Structure 1
Amino acid sequence: MPPARSHIHALVTAYLERYPAEAPLLAPLLKLLDEAAEPTSRSTMPGHITCSAVVVDHDRRVLLVHHNAFGLMLAPGGHVEAGDRSLLETALREVHEEVGIPPGALCATAAYGSLPIDIDVFDIDANPVKGEGAHQHWDFRFVFQLVDRDVEVMVQQEEVSAPEWVAFDQVTAPRLRAKLCASGLDGRIEPVNASALIHDGHGRYLLHLRDDLPGIWEPGAWALLGGGREPGDTSLEDTVRRELREETGLEPGVVEPFAVGLATGTDGLTVPVQVFTARWNGDPAGLPLTEGVMLAWFRPDVMERLRLSPSTLDLVRRHAEHSGRTKAAPQREALGPDRPMAGSAGVPHIVGVHLYLERDGQVLLGLRHPDSAYAGGSHHFLAGHCEQESALACLVREAQEEAGLLIDPRDVELVHVVHMVDAPGAQPRIGFVFRALRWAGAPAVREPDRCVSWDWWPADALPEPIVPYTRAAIEGIRAGRPYTELGWT
Structure 2
Amino acid sequence: MPPTRSHLRGAVAAHLERRPAGREALEDLLTALDAETDPAGPTDPIDPIDPPDPAGPTALAGRITCSAVVVDRHRRVLHVRHRPGGSLLLPGGRVGPDDRTLLAAALRAVHEQAGIPPAALCHTAAYRDVPVDIAVRTAEAGPTGGEPARRHYDFRMVLHLAGGTTDAAPRPGGAPGAGAEWLPFDEVGPPGLRAGLLESGLDGRAGPVNASALIHDGAGRYLLHLRDHVPDIWEPGAWALLGGGREPQDTSLEDTVRRELREEAGLEPADLEPFAVEHATGSDGTTVPVQVFTARWNGDPGALTLTEGVMLAWHDLRTLPRLRLSPSTVALIRRHAAEHTPEHGPEHAAEHAPEPARAGSAGAPVPHIVGVHLCLERDGEVLLGLRHADSAYAGATHHFLAGHCEQESAVGCLVREAQEEAGLVIDPADVDLVHLVHVRDRPGAPPRMQLVFRARRWRGEPRLREPDRCVSWNWWPLDALPEPIVPYARAALEGIRAGRPYTELGWDGPGVAR
Q: TM-score range by the shorter chain?
A: 0.5 to 0.7
- Matches for 1:52-451 after TM superposition, within 5 Å: 52-67=67-82, 71-124=86-139, 135-148=150-163, 149=165, 150-156=167-173, 158=175, 161-324=178-341
Structure 1, unmatched stretches of 5+, are 328-489
Aligned to 1:48, the other structure's residue is in SS state strand
1:47 is displaced (CA, Å) by 2.8
How far is the alpha carbon of 1:69 from its aligned partner? 12
Q: How much does 1:90 deviate?
A: 0.8
Measured in 1, the distance between the counterparts of 2:230 and 2:205 equals: 33
The answer for the alignment partner of 2:10 in structure 1 is 10
Distance apart, 1:324 and its partner CA: 3.4
User: Is contact 2:113-2:175 (8 Å) kept?
Assistant: no
Give the distance between the partners of 1:49 and 1:72, measured in 2 at CA.
21
Conserved? CA contact 2:79–2:183, under 8 Å? yes
**C-alpha separation between the residues in 2 aligned to 1:67 and 1:47?**
25
Q: CA deviation at 1:44?
A: 7.0
* Distance (whole Å) between structure 2 residues aligned to residue 121 and residue 67 of structure 1: 22
Query: In the aligned structure 1, how far is the partner of 2:333 from the partner of 2:60?
Result: 54
- Residue deviations 1:166-201 (CA, integer Å, cap 9, x gap): 110000011101111111111212111110000111
Structure 1's 109 and 248: CA in aligned 2 closer, same or farther, altered over 3 A? same
CA contact (8 A) 2:220 2:342 kept: no
d(CA) in 1 for partners of 2:213, 2:200: 30
Partner secondary structure for residue 208 of structure 1: strand
Distance 1:267 1:234 in 2: 25
* CA distances 1:352-382 after superposition (whole Å, capped 9, x unpaired): xxxxxxxxxxxxxxxxxxxxxxxxxxxxxxx
RMSD: 2.6
**Are the aligned partners of 2:54 and 2:60 in contact in 1 as well (CA < 8 Å)?**
no
Distance in 2, matches of 1:104 and 1:165, equals 20
Deviation string 1:430-484 (CA, Å, 9 cap, x unpaired) is: xxxxxxxxxxxxxxxxxxxxxxxxxxxxxxxxxxxxxxxxxxxxxxxxxxxxxxx
The Cα offsets for residues 260-282 of structure 1, whole Å up to 9 and x where unpaired, read as 01111111121111000001111
Is this contact kept in 1: 2:227–2:310, CA < 8 A? Answer: yes
Identity across the alignment (%): 61
Q: Which amino acid aligns with 1:244?
A: L
Q: Which shifted more, 231-240 or 307-316?
A: 231-240
Query: Which residue of the partner structure matches residue 21 of structure 1?
Result: 21
Partner amino acid for 2:10? Answer: A
Query: 1:87 and 1:70, CA in 2 relative to 1: closer, same or farther beyond 3 A?
Result: farther
**8 Å contact from structure 1 (residues 204, 297) kept in 2:** yes
Preserved CA contact (<8 Å) 1:64 1:73: yes
Q: Do 1:194 and 1:228's aligned partners in 2 also have CA atoms closer than 8 Å?
A: yes
Going from structure 1 to structure 2, the CA distance change for 1:132 and 1:164 (only over 3 Å counts) comes to farther
- Give structure 2 stretches of 5+ with no counterpart: 41-52, 345-514
1:32 is matched with which residue?
A: 32
Partners of 1:75 and 1:217 in 2: how far apart? 29
CA distance in structure 1 between the partners assigned to 2:80 and 2:250 by the alignment: 37
- Alpha-carbon separation, structure 2, partners of 1:70 and 1:44: 36
2:367 counterpart residue number: none
User: Match of 1:483?
Assistant: none
CA deviation digits over 1:224-249, x for unaligned, max 9? 00111112211111111111122112
Output the amino acid matched with 1:243. Answer: E
Kindly tell me: are residues 135 and 285 of structure 1, through their superposed partners in 2, closer, same or farther at Cα, counting changes over 3 Å?
Answer: same
Alpha-carbon contact 1:300-1:313 (below 8 Å) kept: no
Aligned CA distance change for structure 1 residues 43 and 243 (closer, same or farther; 3 Å) = closer
CA deviation after TM superposition for structure 1 residue 157, in Å = 5.2
- 1:119 is paired with a residue of what secondary structure? strand
In the TM superposition, what is the alpha-carbon distance from 1:164 to its structure 2 partner? 0.8
Kept in 2, the 8 Å contact 1:98–1:159? The answer is: no
**AA paired with 2:29?**
L
Q: How far did residue 298 of structure 1 move?
A: 0.5
Letter in 1 for 2:106: A
Cα gap change, 1:69 to 1:30, in 2 (>3 Å):
farther
Query: 1:107·1:269 contact (CA, 8 Å) conserved in 2?
Result: yes
Matches of 1:249 and 1:39, distance apart in 2? 38
- Corresponding residue for residue 507 of structure 2: none
Contact 1:52/1:76 (8 A) holds in 2? yes
Letter in 1 for 2:126: A
- 1:397-427: per-residue Cα shift (whole Å, max 9, x none)? xxxxxxxxxxxxxxxxxxxxxxxxxxxxxxx
Q: How many equivalent residue pairs?
A: 327
Q: 1:136, 1:156 → 2: CA distance? A: 28
TM-aligned CA distance change 1:86 to 1:11, over 3 Å: same
Give me the whole-angstrom Cα distance separating, in 2, the residues matched to 1:24 and 1:320: 57
Q: Judging changes above 3 Å, is the alpha-carbon distance between structure 1 residues 178 and 200 closer, same or farther for their aligned structure 2 residues?
A: same
Is the Cα contact below 8 Å between 1:2 and 1:40 reproduced in 2?
Answer: yes
Local SS of the residue matching 1:188? coil
Q: Which amino acid aligns with 2:318?
A: D
